[in-house]
Structure 1
Amino acid sequence: MRNEYSGAGIYLENSGIQQSYSLGSYATVFQAEFFAILMVAQREDVKNCTEERIFIFSESQAALRAVSSPRTRSMFVIQECEDALESLARQKEVGLVWVPGHMGILGNERADQFARLGSGEPPQGPKPIHEISRGSMGPSVDGHTAD
């Protein structure tokens, strides 16, 4: 059974913190990966931990490339993620690391598990503001958008 919503999940190995997030019906996998990176970078317990180096792992090469590329910062979610990572980098050495998905890597499998949990729940609070890809809007909207 396919879940109605998108989800994101984080797992912090050193502290054992795990969290799932429901992102509503329209968030893409790309946006969910960014959201997870953003949530880690904004956590006070991550900012205040005793570790001098923080590594954030993601199975999304596209998300990791986009956050490092100055050409993709037009998307709000990417800019917010970049700002949070820069803020964290003022306090810690931050490394973004790609890990292959679905290969049995414990931390990644746990994060995926929590993303699935989030995707099975309706979002709480106000609807999140995020960009919607043109492809998900359908042809009826095409005539009303400007390039």
Structure 2
Amino acid sequence: MPSFDDIVNELQEKINEETIEAYGQEGFERWRNQPYRGEPSGADYEGSSTGGCGDTIWIYLDIKNDVVVDAGFATDGCGSSSISGSMAAELAVGKSCEELAAFTGENVLEGLGGSSCLPEDDQHCAWLAANALLDALGCYYRKMAAQNKQD
């Protein structure tokens, strides 16, 4: 009879194989390591987007002089939501707010290597991540407008 550790290791290997098959090696690595996960300490702007699937992605931005200097994400959703949120946050860093105003799910998919990087049924997660990023950018613009009114 296999040991508990053997069963767990076999199950983990199966999950890893299925994830690589679904997302490719790069998507698998992003899913396992999730760069940009969490809220950066300097983030003042937050946006979110919830899909029909029920997944929500939050994007956090740290913006200085109209340029994103740090970003992060969180999700309560599936692997595709994690991968997409991670990529959206990564792509935002170093970009001006003006550049990000035209950001779409297509940018997320391209960053991940094209439309084959996510299962077809999960590609909407790229748009969830983009919409969350745009919502965070809107938060920035609303705060700047309010601040300018006070000045």
The reply to whether TM is greater than 0.5 is no
Instruction: Say which one has the larger Rg.
Output: 2
Larger RCO of the pair (alpha carbons < 8 Å, separation 6+): 1
Give the TM-score normalised by structure 2: 0.29
When normalised by structure 1's length, the TM-score is 0.29
